[in-house]
Amino acid sequence: MASKLTQSNGAGWAFALPGFGLIAIFIVLPFFFAFALSLTNQRLISPNPTEFVGFENYRDLMGLAVITLEPERDADGNAIRDEDGEIAYPRVRTITRSDDFPEYRGMREWFRWQSGENARVVIAADVVFMKALRNTLLFVLVVAPVQATIALGLALLINQKIRGINIFRTIYFMPVVVSIVVVSLLWRFIYDGSDGLLNNILAGLTFGLFEPRDWLGETSTALGAIMAMSVWQGVGFHMVIWLSGLQTISPTLYEAAEIEGANKRQIFRYVTWPGLRNTAVLVLIVITMQAFALFAQVDVMTQGGPLDSTQSLVFQTVDRGYRKQDISGGSVISVVLFLIVLCISLLQRWLTRDR
């Protein structure tokens, strides 16, 4: 096998060369650049020479520590409580900005939990990155299965021989063709807090009972709103991939199943689904990778806010590398993102391997 691929196959390699060459120049090479830059203090523009700083950028990005806050106590040693009965703690800044704890300098509270009377606080060197990481993972976890399932449902619906089915195919595919920036702008109007379309529809359906919400302006709904919009935008693309998979399944299998007396559910379970195996692997991996690249929606709709509830890794990469002129900071995040996506893709390949 190997010999056939590598030897006396000059024409084949020549045909592959443009593709390989472009990938090498625009994807492989920049990745190695990014890795090299992540070990330096490279700026976008600066008269200062670039210096090698080792893994300092990685430490600044991923430094984590847990500190314990003891309650403030009165003279009898009882914890002081405020009017709501909550225990009063000293502020985290009394530790992170104190000269007694130089190791915590520049760190900030990420989240905390209660343990007995004490509060355990997780402080991070880069809280924004941590939140971006969490949001991105959450985004992938929700969007990948939901988008894949809805896309499969749509593909099954439009995989029928009915008059005018192409109209439906076109409608479902339309959002994919429209630029994501335009789609994001339109959805900003839909989600508008005062007189947006979504608020109006919900108010109409509930006869005015629904209180209008500022979908993109509240921390509890902003990420969910972006997820819903992203699923809607991307679902048509994956629908087409599923459809192509559906159409490779031989009609004779369906005929045989019907003759055997299988019902619709059984046909899907034992004919359609096994026939879609390779398509499923492809769809899942593609959606996962696309979801990790979440950027334009955030850039146009929320800029990462409110309160970092919609930060994403790629948005932070661009924000640091370009807008804050810190190429090394952006490179570190892209290297981390690459490693995460690589691990997940390998895991997916392993889980869906041919047994």
Partner 1 sequence: MRHATLAGLLLAGTALGTAAAAQTEVSLWYHGAGNRGEAETLDRIVTDFNAAQGDWTIVVESFPQASYNDSVVAAALAGNLPCVIDVDGPVMPNWAWSGYMQPLPIDEARIADFLPGTKGYWDGQLYSIGLWDAAVALVTRESTLETLGLRRPTLDAPWTGEEFMAALEAAQASGEYDYALDLGMAWTGEWYPYAFSPLLQSFGGDIVDRSSYQTAEGALNSDAAIEFGEWWQSLFADGLAPGTSQDPADRDSGFNEGRYAFAWNGNWAATATLAAVEDAVFLPAPDFGNGNIIGAASWQFGVSATCAHPEGAAAFIEFALNDEYLAAFSDTTGLIPATPSAAALTENYREGGALEVFFELSNQQALVRPVSPGYVVAAKVFEKALSDIANGADVADALDAAVDEIDSDIERNGGYGH
Asked if 210 and 232 touch (Cβ cutoff 8 Å), the reply is no
- Find the shortest distance in angstroms from Cβ 150 to partner 1: 28
Between 13 and 322, CB nearer to partner 1: 322
**Rounded-to-integer distance, Cα 262 and Cα 269, Å:** 10
- Find the shortest distance in angstroms from Cβ 15 to partner 1: 33
The Cα-based distances of 31 to 19, 24, 61, 219, 312 in angstroms read: 17, 10, 19, 34, 19
3-state helix/strand/coil string of 129-148: HHHHHHHHHHHHHHHHHHHH
**Rounded-to-integer distance, Cα 193 and Cα 290, Å:** 28
Between 134 and 338, CB nearer to partner 1: 134
- Find the shortest distance in angstroms from Cβ 90 to partner 1: 13
Question: Which residues lie near partner 1 (CB under 8 A)?
Answer: 41, 43-48, 60, 91-93, 96-97, 106, 108-109, 127, 192-194, 214, 216-217, 219, 303, 305-308, 319, 322-326
- Find the shortest distance in angstroms from Cβ 30 to partner 1: 15
β-pairing verdict for 108-115 and 64-69: unpaired
Q: Which residues of 253-281 are buried (b: 16+ CB within 10 A; e: fewer)?
A: eeeebeeeebeeeebeeebbeebbeebbe
**Rounded-to-integer distance, Cα 149 and Cα 153, Å:** 6
- Find the shortest distance in angstroms from Cβ 281 to partner 1: 39
Between 57 and 334, CB nearer to partner 1: 57
Between 50 and 78, CB nearer to partner 1: 50
Between 60 and 240, CB nearer to partner 1: 60
